[in-house]
Amino acid sequence: MTSDYASAPGGDVTAGRAESLPFDTSRAHQARIYDYLLGGKDNYAADRAAAEEALTIYPDWAFTARANRAFLGRAVRFLTAEAGIRQFLDIGTGIPTAGNTHEVAQAIAPETRVVYVDYDPIVLAHARALLDSHESGATEYIDADLRDTGTILGKARQLLDFTQPVSITLISILHAIPDSDDPHAIVAKLLGAVPSGSYLAISHVGAELYQTETRQDLEDIADRMAQQHFTWRSREQVARFFEGTDLVDPGLVRVEEWRPAATAADGQRSSFWCAVGRKG
């Protein structure tokens, strides 16, 4: 089954849309910079300039993006193949690229249902690729801000059965939520809506994984971006998102260290923490 909501790229994919980011090619966007770092083509001059400038300050950023995407794939594979999860709520989807959540999960369990959420209009414009579900499973796309948990949970319930375990994946998004919007309460609310046996997967920029001067220089670039600055969080702050869950092995580590398929080439190290926890 695929979505009834599906429409042409750029069309109204969901009813009752929440606040979206304005479409502005003159300012860099997080989704399009990430696309550029992953070798994609859905980015503009402002995104490429910001990415290239950031790479001169922090050359391991491209490795971090790739390692983060690889963590997403390994986490979804683990959750489907080993934890038996058949429902995903993937918030902060990004521009579709190789190894989208439903592709990884449905390659293992075709009946898997995936609800994607993002607030960037360029992701919405490419949502059709996310709605290309295996016929025995289903996918849906919700155009909403992570902070609007009421809209997200209300719409996600139309496809997901919240009496059965759900994996909430928040991969490389929570650092876009400032402390003033209480991201820990947002995660607690999402986790509170799913039953025990559900999972939470997160990756997040690690405050202690950057030099202070590097962070300051990256902040200067962020001033020119459409979105709010990243909030750098410590390992302990990231661990707090997992309250009420038991972390699966190997616990909270850098993205390339989470159940790696092979050791990272040439000793590069990412600057993202990650973990996967099971709700008790």
Ligand X SMILES: C[S@@+](CC[C@H](N)C(=O)[O-])C[C@H]1O[C@@H](n2cnc3c(N)ncnc32)[C@H](O)[C@@H]1O
Smaller CB distance to ligand X: residue 73 or 197?
A: 73
Least separation, in Å, of the C-beta of 171 and ligand X? 4
Least separation, in Å, of the C-beta of 243 and ligand X? 21
Smaller CB distance to ligand X: residue 24 or 161?
A: 24
Which residues are near ligand X by CB under 6 A? 30-31, 34, 68-69, 72, 92-94, 118-120, 123, 145-147, 171-173, 176-177
Least separation, in Å, of the C-beta of 135 and ligand X? 25
Smaller CB distance to ligand X: residue 27 or 147?
A: 147
Query: Strand ranges (DSSP E) for the chain?
Result: 87-91, 113-118, 138-143, 167-171, 199-205, 245-247, 253-254, 272-279
Least separation, in Å, of the C-beta of 133 and ligand X? 18
Rounded CA-CA distance 99/72 in Å is 9
Quote the tokens at residue 133.
């579900």
Instruction: List the Cα angle 249/258/170 in 5-degree steps.
Output: 95
DSSP secondary structure string for all residues of 48-74: HHHHHHHHHH-TTHHHHHHHHHHHHHH
Least separation, in Å, of the C-beta of 35 and ligand X? 8
Least separation, in Å, of the C-beta of 280 and ligand X? 25
Give the three-state DSSP class for 239.
helix
Rounded CA-CA distance 263/256 in Å is 8
Smaller CB distance to ligand X: residue 197 or 269?
A: 269
Give the CB-nearest residue to ligand X: 94
Q: Are 92 and 171 in contact (CB under 8 A)?
A: yes
Smaller CB distance to ligand X: residue 119 or 258?
A: 119
Least separation, in Å, of the C-beta of 51 and ligand X? 12
The DSSP symbol for 131 reads T
Least separation, in Å, of the C-beta of 277 and ligand X? 17
Cα dihedral 12, 147, 116, 37, rounded to 10, equals: 100
In DSSP terms, which residues pair with 274 in a beta bridge?
203, 253
Smaller CB distance to ligand X: residue 13 or 171?
A: 171
Smaller CB distance to ligand X: residue 120 or 134?
A: 120
The CB-based long-range contact list for 56-61 (8 Å cut-off, 24+ gap) reads 57/214, 57/217, 57/218, 57/221, 58/210, 58/214, 58/217, 58/218, 58/271, 60/268, 60/269, 60/270, 60/271, 61/37, 61/271
Q: Which of 276, 261, 135, 138 is nearest to 203 (CA)?
A: 276
Smaller CB distance to ligand X: residue 46 or 146?
A: 146
